[in-house]
Structures are given as C-alpha cells and as structure tokens.
Amino acid sequence: MTVSIESLNQQFAIPNVLRFVEAAAGVPIIEITGENASARIAVQGAQVLEWQPVGQQPVLWISRAAVYQAGKGVRGGVPVCWPWFGAGEAGKPAHGFVRTRMWQVRETGQNAQGVYVKLGIGDDAETRELWNHAFDLELIVVAGEMLTMELVTLNTGDTPFVITDALHTYFRTGDITKTEVLGLDNTPYLDKVVGFGESIQHGAVSFSGETDRVYLNTQAECVIDDAALNRKIYVAKSGSDSTVVWNPWIEKEKGFADMAVGEYQEMLCVETCNAASDTITVAPAQSHHLLAKVSVGSN
C-alpha cells in the first residue's frame, strides 16, 4: 500500500527538522536537518542515503547515476540486505528482498543523540513466496553527530529461522588508492574475487584492484583512514560477526548501469554483516539486533 506524501507529513513531520519529499513517483524520501547533522532516508528499503554531520563533508557515498524508482534499490547509502546476504538461492533476488520493498514509517522524533526514525516491514503473501517465515523487521536510524542504524529481526512465527544480514554501507572517500581500512589485521576472509578462496589479512586493507571480501568471526571496529580527505571514519558494531569490504574497481564498475564512469575511485563499502558461515538463528518470539555506529574524526 502506498501512503501519500501528504499523510506521511501529517503524521510524522517535525517542523524545520524532518519532512517527506518525493524523489520520484512512489519513492518517498525523509529529509532531516537536525542540529548536528543532515540526512536523507528512502522509505523504500529503509535505505539511509545521506548523512552529513555539521562541519563535515558527506560521509556516505551515493552514485551520481543513482536511479530512484519504485521496486529498485538506490546505488549508494546503506541498503539493508535481509534475510540473506549475497546471491541466495537460484532465481531469488541478491541480498534478500527488503531493500526493494516499501517499508512503513512507524515513528519519528528527537532525542539527545539526534533525530530518529523507525521503519518497519513484516511478512506478507509475496515475502512468503520468497521466504516462508513470519517476521517483523525494524530499522531504527538516529542521525546526529553519530549515525546509528539498528536492524531488529523479530521471529513472529512458531519455528526458528536462520538469516544472514547486512547494513551494506557505502562510504565516500577522497581517493581509494590513498585509503586504508584498519581493524582487520589477522582476520580470516573469503575472497570473492578468487572464487571465495580463504586468506588471512595482514596489516591494513589497501586498494589497488577489485576487492570483495567477507571477513569472518570479527566484531572489531573498523577505521577508514582517508588520507585525501584528511579524515577517519569509525565503524563500530554489535550483533555482527562479519565485515565485508568491497570496491568494484574499473571493470566491475562498468557492469553497473547506476554507477558513473570512474566513481569507484571515490567510494568503498565497509559492511556490518552476518555473512557466509556467520549465520544467525532466531527462535520464535526472539529477536536479533544488528547495530552499526558511524562517526567521523580528523586525521
């Protein structure tokens, strides 16, 4: 069911702080201008698109060629991958089905941490076709000096289910060749570029070609050290045992119609996940919380 922009604004707008606009027909966007940060969040997919603390450059990356369309995810920001991360079963959508579906707005408000938004989605006949489980999924976003995103999976059925999930966060960087990711030293990973071969990280992750790795059994905070923009982005997390690091580089970028030429140079994904063997079993009436906390500091 599509809810009109007028009724979303009537129910959930906060004067001078939060309003709903339409990026395209059937694509409502929440625009936040808080005391400490501005942000944009698409209701479809509960996808955070932008977050910019006051006095900082934008922290998230979003493609200049991004497409805003009902039923399609936006290239950039923070797609929610759920109830599976990655390819999934043959014929089913990559990264699950909630990133392209309409969510409900449940609550908006302000607290000491910033402006918050609660979005939710539950099972219906269409989701049951793809994944036959009863669930309620909620994303709570707080946009302030820090960006927090908490994805809460509740099993509303009477049998346990197994998920993988991700806050597939695209970050903006000044120059990928001068960017490092710290925090994954000595961590084992699966390297998708070489058929998911197993390796171990030594030192910082640096970038000189296509990079697509699932770091396993890690709860560590990652630091994106961006020498070109002279800043560090901190990605702390809980409820997450995997971290994915991705940059498509030159050839793979060409395969994305919604990426402009050369944009791989100014982005990277550091994703808060439970992926590959790091699965989560959720018992009936139990919930799982996947939390990412993003903050920025100077070098």
Minimum Å gap between C-beta 256 and ligand TA6 is: 7
Minimum Å gap between C-beta 289 and ligand TA6 is: 21
88-147: which residues touch ligand TA6 (CB under 6 A)?
Answer: 94-95
CA distances from 298 to 61, 119, 233, 235 (A): 18, 32, 9, 14
According to CB under 6 A, which one of 271, 272, 274, 294 is a site residue for ligand TA6? Answer: 271
Check residue 244 for interaction with ligand TA6 (CB under 6 A): yes
Minimum Å gap between C-beta 132 and ligand TA6 is: 23
208-227: which residues touch ligand TA6 (CB under 6 A)?
Answer: 212
Nearer to ligand TA6, 52 or 272 (CB): 272
Check residue 263 for interaction with ligand TA6 (CB under 6 A): no
Q: Shortest Cβ contact with ligand TA6: which residue?
A: 246
According to CB under 6 A, which one of 38, 68, 86, 228 is a site residue for ligand TA6? Answer: 86
Nearer to ligand TA6, 63 or 108 (CB): 63
According to CB under 6 A, which one of 246, 267, 282, 294 is a site residue for ligand TA6? Answer: 246
Backbone angles phi, psi at 283, to 5 degrees: -80, 160
The CA distance from 8 to 10, in Å, is 5
The CA distance from 293 to 280, in Å, is 20
The CA distance from 246 to 248, in Å, is 7
Residues classed as catalytic: 168, 271
Nearer to ligand TA6, 93 or 120 (CB): 93
Cβ-based neighbours of 267, under 8 Å, separated by 6 or more: 61, 76, 170, 171, 172, 173, 176, 247
Nearer to ligand TA6, 94 or 283 (CB): 94
What DSSP assignment string belongs to 177-246?
Answer: GGEEEES-TT-EEEEGGGTTEEEE--SSEE-SS-EEEEE-S----EEEEETTTTEEEEEEEES--EEEEE
Minimum Å gap between C-beta 258 and ligand TA6 is: 9
183-202: which residues touch ligand TA6 (CB under 6 A)?
Answer: 192
Decide: 83 and 96 in contact? Cβ < 8 Å: yes
Nearer to ligand TA6, 74 or 142 (CB): 74
Minimum Å gap between C-beta 212 and ligand TA6 is: 5
Rg (CA), the chain: 18
Nearer to ligand TA6, 75 or 231 (CB): 75
Number of H helices, E strands in the chain: 3, 23
Q: Kind and range of the H or E element at 57?
A: none
Residues binding ligand TA6 (CB under 6 A): 86, 94-95, 168, 192, 212, 244, 246, 269, 271
